[in-house]
Every structure is written in structure tokens, then in C-alpha cells.
Amino acid sequence: MIANKKSVARLSRYKNALHRFKTMGLVRIFSDNLADAIGVTSSQVRKDFSVFGITGSKRGGYQIDDLFAQLNNILGKDQIQEVIIAGVGNIGAALLKYNGFEKEKIKIVAAFDIDAQKWSDTAPVPVYSLDRLIPFVNARGIKIGIIAVPESAAQMVFDRMVTSGIRGVLNFAPLRLRSPKQCVINSVNLVTELENVIFFSTSGQRIFLGELEADAGAHQVE
Amino acid sequence: MIANKKSVARLSRYKNALHRFKTMGLVRIFSDNLADAIGVTSSQVRKDFSVFGITGSKRGGYQIDDLFAQLNNILGKDQIQEVIIAGVGNIGAALLKYNGFEKEKIKIVAAFDIDAQKWSDTAPVPVYSLDRLIPFVNARGIKIGIIAVPESAAQMVFDRMVTSGIRGVLNFAPLRLRSPKQCVINSVNLVTELENVIFFSTSGQRIFLGELEADAGAHQVE
DNA sequence: AAATATTTGTGAAATAAATAACAAAAAAAC
DNA sequence: GTTTTTTTGTTATTTATTTCACAAATATTT
Ligand SMILES: NC(=O)c1ccc[n+]([C@@H]2O[C@H](COP(=O)([O-])OP(=O)(O)OC[C@H]3O[C@@H](n4cnc5c(N)ncnc54)[C@H](O)[C@@H]3O)[C@@H](O)[C@H]2O)c1
Ligand SMILES: NC(=O)c1ccc[n+]([C@@H]2O[C@H](COP(=O)([O-])OP(=O)(O)OC[C@H]3O[C@@H](n4cnc5c(N)ncnc54)[C@H](O)[C@@H]3O)[C@@H](O)[C@H]2O)c1
């Protein structure tokens, strides 16, 4: 199986579309429908499914319940994924307050900050001292972390996360993290994302629908 | 010139690396240095430059000041880019408070919300009623907008933006926006970004350095 | 000033990703 | 129960992106 970032993102979008189809009362679905719903070709849908070992029935399409279950299984949604955040500033606090993770079986179980003013045992998601990150993650066996600290602190925080057993990081700090141990890093640079919009909308360069689309969600409509 | 999302993101990273080199006192730089700094091959650096018409001197590399100026020009940083935000909730407020846009010549000049409690003429960035979006954008000739409203309001807000003359949108709502007029859309779905981390760090699938790297900033170190 | 070493710029080759095409399967129609 | 129609699954093709490789240029050394 050779998955890539884009194909995983598409699986997630198929799942969301599927959910909508299901609530509309549909029981089965065709690759064409999914393709239309998320804006790719039906070949792409079938190819993606093929890569992840998902099969349907010829002429019969896919049973929505079955497909939904398979996608959830592939995307690790059979169990709740526990996540921690480092940095309860603008971005960290925004993520903590967001209630859209729950329905994706993602649960932010704790946050850590160096600023004592941010600490709280009683908040919906407790905020602890950064010193408690390693023992907490260790004890709970947490594997996923979010970095929302200033750039200057990001590498140090990352190192602690890796030490504590974290194996995947979503990073918002605008730098390239380095690690001696294996760890998946997904860095989202919001400034760059905005710069991309500025570039393509002001350069007058013709971009094609789908060129940005499949990538990280960008597309051009007309 | 055939630019794509990734190449533009790389230009931005070259520029940042260049800034660091400059502050270290360097005057000229080679494709190899830039490659090492941002984690790509030197071929990639030279190819990128070639695509955007940037040239250096054989054996002499690139003059940092000159290269910096060219990158700034390509990325539209000769003038300040004015941007508006719709939705001053978790994400919208985080962006408003962030001070990292300024040094990239991006200025958020106003925000718009449907909730009267959010309105403020006196805030560092004023927050107005959504009704004022179209006249404001029209009058100021603003071309870039950020959508940070709930999914249910996103399409309506987007339509208003396009009507008012906006030509590029950074969208955080998890849906596919549709438009009758041409507009560049870059949708960032933070849930999907986190799902990607979860997938690759728990699937045990071997991913290769660079596979996610160049895409939206994700990479794996070991 | 000539020789040497190094680095660019670019076309060719390789790799990766998306789309097209179609045989095979199986619903639906007759 | 046979035929027709439709849709999958997969292989082939196309398109896009990255890397390779090397001639040409030009710093640097001798
Ligand atoms: N806010 C945005 O819109 C935005 C946009 C682009 C990039 N970013 C990046 O995201 C990251 C977070 O941005 P922000 O605006 O939320 O920052 P912020 O300054 O609002 O918050 C940072 C938080 O991290 C805490 N912190 C500092 N050092 C720490 C440490 N060593 N350990 C734990 N916590 C520590 C601070 O106390 C603070 O609460 C930054 O790297 C920033 O560059 C943010
Ligand atoms: N906060 C996160 O961490 C997060 C994560 C993933 C995705 N998102 C997405 O980002 C978007 C914003 O999320 P949020 O958490 O900031 O939401 P939020 O509910 O905190 O804020 C939304 C804001 O938009 C305003 N609003 C509502 N309707 C409006 C309209 N028609 N015009 C103008 N303003 C309007 C509300 O008054 C509120 O201030 C949502 O689509 C959400 O799904 C957010």
C-alpha cells in the first residue's frame, strides 16, 4: 500500500461526503457520486480505494455502511485518538475551544504551557506546566502532539515530546523541526498558506482547477 | 512560467532562510546552502529559480541582497497586501492577534462578524458588521479575504466576498466553496491535517523524508 | 595570464500522481 | 433464464514534478 498525504486527505473527504449521503437516506453509492461530491474524478476515487484495499461490487457500487466502516478503520477512528497541545496562546487556545474534533474521534486531553497564568486543573481541558508534559504523556501513552508555541521554543518542546513517546506532531511554528528519533511531522504554516493565495490571485497566472485542489485543499473556481 | 503551490511555498522558505543567512553576515549564497537550509536538493533550488526567472552567477552563486529583492518582488512583497477576515471566533481572533504577518507585508485591515458583541471601532483591527463587508472591500479595493466563520455561513460569506471584488480566499471552514466568478481558494482543514499525522504515525506505513515534506510542510525525521 | 576548480542553468531521465480505457462482473430489464 | 446495461478494478497512458548530469561560465589559484 503506497498512501500519500493527499490520498489520506481524500479518504477523509470521502468519509465526510459519505456521512452526508447517509443522512440523506442513501444506502449505496457509486464512485461517480463520491467524485462529484468532493471534486475529483471517479478514477481517482476507485484508485484510492484500490490502494487502501477497499472493494465494492461491480454494477452495485459500494454499501455506504460498509464503506464508512472501512474508512473509519483505515483512518484509525475505531478508537478515540488522544492528543496533547503545547502552547495555549492564540492558536493553542483556538484549538482547545474548537468542538469539531470530537466527532472525528480526536480528543485533546491536556495542554501544557510555560506561563503559570495559563495553568488550570479545572478547565474543560486541563492546562499544566510544561514540566508535566513528559510524565503525563509517558503515563498515558499518548502518541500525538500539537505544537503551538513560539518559534523560539518549538524545537525544545518538540524534543520533549519525542522523548516522552510522541510519534506524530502537528506543528504551527514556522521552522523545520529536527529529531534524532523517528517522528512524523506535519507543519502547517499559515503565513505561507496566505502567501499562496496572494501569489496566485495577483500574479495573473492561470491555475487550473484541481491543481491546487487536491494538494492541501486549494482550488480555483470560476 | 509554470508555478505551483509547492514551488511558491518553497520560494517563501528560501526567502526566510536567506534572511537568516543575511543576518549571519553572508553576502552571497549557493544553491547547495539554500537546499540544506530548507531540506530539498540543490537541483530543486536551481529549477525553482529557473522557473521564476531568477539567475545567479556561475561559480559565484547568488548575491543575497539581489536574490532577496527578486524573491520579494515575485511574492508580491513590494507593497503591503491588505487582507480582511470574516468571523472573529477562535481562529479569526487568533489570526487578528498574531503579529507575524506584518513582517511579511501582510496587513489585516478589518474584520467582519455577524455578532454585534464582536464589533469594535477602536480595536487595533476594527471589527464591523458583516453588512459593511461589501462596501468596505469595494471602497478599499481589497483583493484577499480569510474565511473563519462556521461551515454553515461560509458559502454565504464567500459569495459576498466575491461580489465585493475579492479574488483570493484563505478558507478554514471544512467545505468545498463554489463560485460563479473566478477566485483562488485555498482551504486549510486543520482536522484533516491532524488526521494525516494520526494516520502516518499509527499506520506503521513507511513514509519517506520529503514525501510529505514538500507538500504542505510535513516530513518525517529519524 | 593561464590553469584549475566550482557552481550555475537547463535539457534529459526518472519518479510520482492523476486520468483514461476497458475487460470482467453483476445488477436490472426483458 | 438470457440479454442488456452499468459500474468496478486494474492496467496503460498521460501529465506533473523531481532529480540527474553535464556543458558553459566565471571565480580563484598558481
Ligand atoms: N496565531 C496565528 O495566527 C499564527 C499564524 C501563523 C503562525 N503562527 C505560529 O503558531 C505558533 C503559536 O502562535 P500563537 O499566536 O498562538 O503564539 P502566542 O504567543 O499567542 O502563544 C504561545 C504560547 O506558548 C506559550 N509558551 C511559550 N514558550 C513555551 C514553552 N517553552 N513551552 C510551552 N509553552 C510555551 C506561551 O506562554 C503562550 O501561551 C507560533 O510559532 C506562531 O509563529 C501563529
Ligand atoms: N477553531 C479551530 O481550532 C478550528 C479547527 C478546524 C476548523 N475550524 C473551522 O474554522 C471555522 C472557524 O472556527 P472557529 O472555531 O473560529 O469558530 P467560532 O464559532 O469560534 O467563530 C465563528 C465566528 O463567526 C461569526 N459568524 C457566524 N456567522 C457569521 C456570518 N454569517 N458572518 C460573519 N461572521 C459570522 C461568529 O459570530 C463567530 O464570531 C469554522 O468553519 C471551523 O469549522 C476551526
- Are B176 and B161 in contact, with CB atoms under 8 Å apart? no
Nucleic strand C near CB of residue A4 (< 7 Å): yes
B63 CA to D29 C1' distance (Å): 22
pLDDT tens per residue across span A68-81: 999 999 999 999 99
Nucleic strand C near CB of residue B54 (< 7 Å): yes
Local confidence band at A205 (pLDDT 50, 70, 90 cut-offs): low
| Residue A211 pLDDT exceeds 50 | no
| C-alpha B57, offset from chain centre | 30
Rounded to the nearest integer, the mean pLDDT of chain B is 91
Neighbours of A171 (CB within 10 A): 27
All cell numbers assigned to A213: 485542489
Cα distance between residue B84 and residue B148, in whole Å? 11
Q: Give me the residue spans of the domains in chain B.
A: 5-74, 81-188
| Contact across the interface for B198 and A144, Cβ inside 8 Å | yes
Best CATH choice for the domain A5-74 from the list 3.30.2450.30, 1.10.10.10, 1.10.3720.10, 3.30.413.10: 1.10.10.10
Residues 6+ apart with CB under 8 A from B21: B29, B33, B37, B64
pLDDT tens per residue across span B94-144: 999 999 999 999 999 999 999 999 999 999 999 999 999 999 999 999 999
Q: Are the folds of B5-74 and B81-188 the same?
A: no
- Count chain A–chain B contacts defined by CB atoms under 8 A: 249
| Residue A206 pLDDT exceeds 90 | no
The architecture that CATH gives domain B81-188 is 3-Layer(aba) Sandwich (3.40)
Number of residues that make up chain A = 222
Q: Tell me the H-state helices in A64-189.
A: 64-74, 90-97, 133-140, 151-164
- Are A220 and B185 in contact, with CB atoms under 8 Å apart? yes
Residues 6+ apart with CB under 8 A from A164: A133, A134, A135, A136, A137, A138, A142
Model-level pTM? 0.93
- Chain A residue with the nearest C-alpha to that of B100: A191
pLDDT tens per residue across span A121-148: 999 999 999 999 999 999 999 999 999 9
Average pLDDT estimate for A169-179: 94
CB of B84 within 6 A of ligand 2: the answer is no
